[in-house]
Amino acid sequence: DGGITQSPKYLFRKEGQNVTLSCEQNLNHDAMYWYRQDPGQGLRLIYYSQIVNDFQKGDIAEGYSVSREKKESFPLTVTSAQKNPTAFYLCASSSNPGLQPGHTFGSGTRLTVV
């Protein structure tokens, strides 16, 4: 079955440490996204990529970095510059927005700073 796989499901980060969240899709979607969800908050856009080898900052990109070397993969690195990284991170993908604007989401990664 096609879908998006995020790993790990839970991740613990020490202060000053960089961590990378994995996101892989086999839906043949061009666009991929990273959103952050905090309790009682709406999803906020971190980075997005409409095509391979291109990505753009979203609303809260500071302290994060991404790459898009393959169509299927869009990993997110949470750097030590992100001061409040504890949150639920969601990866999503979509095909041509004009044809199919809905997002398909992964099951999320819960990141906790220890």
Q: 85 is written with which tokens?
A: 């990284």
Q: What pairs with residue 59 in β-bridges?
A: none
Query: Taking CB under 8 A as the rule, does residue 65 contact another protein?
Result: no
Q: Are strands 76-78 and 64-66 parallel, antiparallel or unpaired?
A: antiparallel
Interface residue with another protein, options 1, 14, 102, 114 (CB under 8 A): 102
3-state secondary structure of 65: strand
Q: Which of these ranges, 12-20, 60-68, 70-78, 97-105, lies near another protein under the rule CB under 8 A? A: 97-105
Query: Taking CB under 8 A as the rule, does residue 101 contact another protein?
Result: yes
Amino acid at the residue 14: K
Binding mask 20-59 for another protein (x = CB under 8 A): -----------x-x-x----xxxx-x--xxx---x-x-x-
Closer CB to another protein, 6 or 82, in the complex: 6
Distance CA 31, CA 94 (A): 5
